[in-house]
Amino acid sequence: MSQIKTGLCEECGKDYSEIKTLCGHCGYSPHGEAVMTKEDPHWKCGNCGRTVQAQQPPEKCPSCGEVCDFKNVSCYLPECGGPGNVDPRL
């Protein structure tokens, strides 16, 4: 388990104390640092269209700050680049 951080994230600007489970942008979790891998899905915010790569969709969008529906827009076919890429059709 990693140490709980304080202050603002240099990557996404969010206050670490506001992150309850996992930050979809930087991967920080108060329960341990999440490591993003090429296999982690890409999630697209239904409100602003921001795409983040994380194991699970974030609670709130790191861009618009809203609680939104996130759609998995990962590519799973060779035609769009395969795993680790965003499917441009979605």
Tokens of 31: 């329960």
Residue-wise pLDDT for 4-32, tens only, equals 777 777 666 777 777 666 665 566 666 66
Domains located in the chain, CATH noted: 1-35 (no CATH), 37-89 (2.20.28)
pLDDT of residue 38: 59
- Is this model's pTM higher than 0.85 or not? no
pLDDT of residue 53: 87
Mean pLDDT on 22-47: 70
Q: Which residue has the higher pLDDT, 16 or 55?
A: 55
Phi, psi of 59 (to 5 degrees): -65, -45
pLDDT at residue 35 is higher than 70: no
